[in-house]
Amino acid sequence: MSKIAKDMHNKYPNWFSLIIRSLRKNDEDFTKIPINYALPMLAIPMMIELSMEAIFAVVDITFVSFLGTDAIAAVGITEALITILYAIAMGLGVTATAMVSRRIGENNRNEAAEVTGQIIWISGIISIIVGYLGYYYAADLLRMLGASDAVVRVGENYTTILFSGSASIMYLFLLNAALRGAGDASVAFKSLAISNIINIVLDPCLIFGLGIFPELGVTGAAIATTIGRTVGVMYLAYVLFNGSNRLQIKIQNLNIRINIIKRIILISLYGISQFLLSTSSWLLLIKIIAIFGTAPVAAYTITLRLMEFVWLPVWGLGNAAATLVGQNLGANKIERAIKSIRITTKYSVFFMSFFGILQFIFANQIMSWFSANNEVIYYGVNCLRIIACGYPALAIGMIIVQSLNGAGDIKSPAIINFLSYWVIQIPLAYILSINTKLMASGVFVSIFVAETALAIMAYIVFRRSKWQEIKI
């Protein structure tokens, strides 16, 4: 055992101490400490952070559900609209993580702060444009997605406020992405924890008018969410401008650097396309499934929600791998970057395989928890079992794609996503469902095939090693 490994063992003698430390601010050098320690220290807060982001939508829809179907529809349609903003934020976030992690690995913290400063400007400009569109065209946007007049009346203010507060969404995503790149994952987790606590407390108060608060209905949900996110951003700003272990922004870092802004935008176009290609393909699959009635749609919807809980830990591991790859490439430790990908992939495959086996065996029981409709259960069992068979491939694909993003090779994942989802998945889903006896189950088979193809293509790109040479 090396001296560094012995030191780490003395500091974190068991898993409990390691978990506790990962949720606190730490100053470990992720280019030096053993990967088996670095990975959980980054991944644990990232996993929790992802769960926190998902909670926003769950909390809002839970309380809004008491207001009736029009209110629920307004929230659902607005969430669909704002998916575009999420895609932009996540695409920019991929770039922010890659560039910051590379600079931290190079031990160039000032340039990492410079990148973050330009991210702040880009986020501000996008937020102004989106906020303007949402403020003045909320009703038109709702009608564009098929909202009835009743839904527009109930939800217009909700949509207006949520879009007007787009800055809180952008900054929460992007500042957290920069912090993840710096290795300060615990700070990102804390910001979302603060945001969620405020949202959970304010939601019922502003929706139903509890105590001193006015009764604002669905509008109250938008205000609560925006306030929660804004406070989370304020916490991030405080940490970033008052000193973090790795990433500290000074006033001079906010000076506009056109060359950096151009580079961020050009790289981010591929990152944005990644998320737009994947999310839009899932929406199109719903349209194909809907041909066969509401039962397969319900089964597909339930399956997607269940899959999210399996994906979240692996996505957190992928984010951790992206940070490790970026920092180690910056430190010119290529073999260590490769090792980080291999170890993370191994853990992810084991995790996904385990849950895939459970999902395959207990598919009938799982679906019975969510529906008593025999037709929904039939399609749901088929969907769960077919997709479960693709979980090992999904694990490989997710980790390698995120690692490539962390390395700065953001173009390759965009191409892989396009080929997997739009060249393979969508046409195959249509052919198998319409032209064979599989019907809706043909769509489920196409998902399995697409995820397998994505994993194969991602592995080929990984083996070619060109990602190791990319400068970002």
Question: DSSP assignment of 406-445, as one string?
Answer: HHT--HHHHHHHIIIIIIIIHHHHHHHHHSSTTTHHHHHH
Residues 222 and 281 in one domain: no
pLDDT confidence of residue 197: 92
Residues 320 and 182 in one domain: no
pLDDT confidence of residue 112: 92
Residues 248 and 308 in one domain: no
Contact 236, 176 (CB under 8 A): yes
- How far apart CA 244 and CA 228 sit, in angstroms, is 22
CB-count exposure of residue 3 (10 Å: 0-12, 13-18, 19+)? exposed
Residues 293 and 382 in one domain: yes
Would 266 be classed as within a structural domain? no
Residues 53 and 142 in one domain: yes
Residues 50 and 164 in one domain: yes
pLDDT confidence of residue 6: 65
Residues 248 and 281 in one domain: no
Would 102 be classed as within a structural domain? yes
Would 6 be classed as within a structural domain? no
Chosen domain end from 226, 256, 286: 256
Contact 82, 145 (CB under 8 A): no
Residues 202 and 304 in one domain: no
Would 461 be classed as within a structural domain? yes
Domains identified in the chain, total number? 2
Residues 196 and 239 in one domain: yes
Residues 320 and 250 in one domain: no
Residues 52 and 194 in one domain: yes
CA atoms lying within 13 Å on the CB side of residue 333: 20
Would 208 be classed as within a structural domain? yes
CA 143 to mean position of chain CA atoms: 28
Structure token pair of residue 124: 């501000």
pLDDT confidence of residue 4: 65
Would 327 be classed as within a structural domain? yes
Chosen domain end from 224, 256, 288: 256
pLDDT confidence of residue 155: 86
- How far apart CA 465 and CA 264 sit, in angstroms, is 23
Amino acid type, 319: N
List Cα–Cα distances, 48 to 92, 146, 229, in angstroms. Answer: 21, 35, 16
pLDDT confidence of residue 111: 93
Chosen domain end from 197, 224, 256: 256
- How far apart CA 449 and CA 281 sit, in angstroms, is 14
Residues 311 and 444 in one domain: yes
CA 80 to mean position of chain CA atoms: 15
Would 164 be classed as within a structural domain? yes
List the domain range (segments joined by +) for residue 234: 35-256
Would 16 be classed as within a structural domain? no
pLDDT confidence of residue 391: 93
Tens-digit pLDDT string for the chain (472 aa) = 566 666 665 666 666 676 777 677 666 778 888 888 888 888 888 888 777 766 766 777 778 878 887 887 788 778 778 878 888 898 899 999 999 999 999 989 999 999 999 999 999 999 999 999 988 999 998 888 777 888 889 889 999 999 999 999 999 989 999 998 988 888 888 898 899 899 999 999 999 999 899 999 999 999 999 999 999 999 999 999 886 567 889 999 999 999 999 999 988 999 888 888 887 887 788 888 888 887 887 788 778 767 777 787 888 889 899 999 999 999 999 999 999 999 999 999 999 999 999 999 999 998 888 777 888 889 889 999 999 999 999 999 999 999 999 998 999 999 999 999 999 999 999 999 998 888 888 999 999 999 999 999 999 999 987 888 888 8
Q: Does this model's pTM top 0.95? A: no
pLDDT confidence of residue 396: 95
